[in-house]
Amino acid sequence: YSIRKNTNVEPKDTRLLNFCLYNGLSVGNSEELVRLHVPADGGPDAFGCTLAPIPLGTLEQQNALIARMTQNGLNHITLPYLQALTRNPVFVALGLFYGGDNRAPAGECIISGAPGCEPELVAIYITEPYRGNGLGKRLLRRALSFCGQSGVPSVQARIMAASQPQSRLMRAFGGDQLSQTLLFPGMEL
């Protein structure tokens, strides 16, 4: 059978990082935990689009959000998980709409924070036709600004280091790396 091994490494712990790399763990497959600082404002709207909260008052609306997330490769959002996120003191579900609020969103973002914990970017996506135009930055900036209105100074996000879009987005917000989880590529036993 196949197993995967991982280990957490603090960003400044070069001794442990070198040991892990020497023994076959990969930085390219790592998951990074970064801290994003909340901007002072939500920034300008993108031309021809609206940024608006996603309505989640009904079970139908909640299931529709989950379906859109799943359709865009975010399979970790389940109904019980979403409902738990909405009960947190910090919760933002924001959509980016082109051509009016009646259409399907071109992108969505969820940020949530449990009591006593720093909020976390739970999910963000931009649909295929709208990628590469800076819309992810605008969506995340506006979602972060909503957090700022609640007195939140920063938000954590988990990214895969090998994902260039995720890495570019975090760099655009001056993300501070908090930790890195190195992943062993896999071993057959």
Q: Which residues contact 182 (CB under 8 A, 6 or more apart)?
A: 6, 7, 9, 17, 20, 21, 25, 26, 27, 29, 30
Whether residue 26 is predicted with pLDDT greater than 70 in this model: the reply is no
List the single range of 30-39, 133-142, 146-155, 160-169 with lowest mean pLDDT. Answer: 160-169
More confident residue, 163 or 73: 73
Q: Which pLDDT band holds residue 129 (cuts at 50, 70, 90)?
A: confident
Q: Which pLDDT band holds residue 151 (cuts at 50, 70, 90)?
A: confident
Whole-angstrom distance between the N-terminal and C-terminal Cα of the chain?
A: 6
Q: Which residues contact 181 (CB under 8 A, 6 or more apart)?
A: 6, 7, 8, 9, 30, 31, 32, 33
- Residue pair 154/35 in contact by the 8 Å Cβ criterion: yes
Is the pTM for the entire model greater than 0.85?
A: no
What is the pLDDT at residue 95? 94
What would the two tokens of residue 43 be? 């920034």
Mean pLDDT of 185-189: 44
**Could you tell me what percent of the chain has a pLDDT over 70?**
79
The Cα–Cα gap between 77 and 70 comes to 8
Q: What is the mean pLDDT of the chain?
A: 82
Whether residue 145 is predicted with pLDDT greater than 70 in this model: the reply is yes
DSSP state of 150: T
Greatest distance between any 2 Cα atoms in the chain: 55
CA 31 to chain centre: 12
Whether residue 126 is predicted with pLDDT greater than 60 in this model: the reply is yes
Structure confidence by residue, pLDDT tens digits, 70-120? 999 899 999 999 999 999 999 999 999 886 555 789 999 999 998 888 999
Helices (H), the chain: 14-22, 59-71, 79-86, 135-149, 164-172
Q: Which pLDDT band holds residue 172 (cuts at 50, 70, 90)?
A: confident
The Cα–Cα gap between 10 and 147 comes to 27
**What number of helices (H) and strands (E) belong to the chain?**
5, 10
**Could you tell me what percent of the chain has a pLDDT over 90?**
38
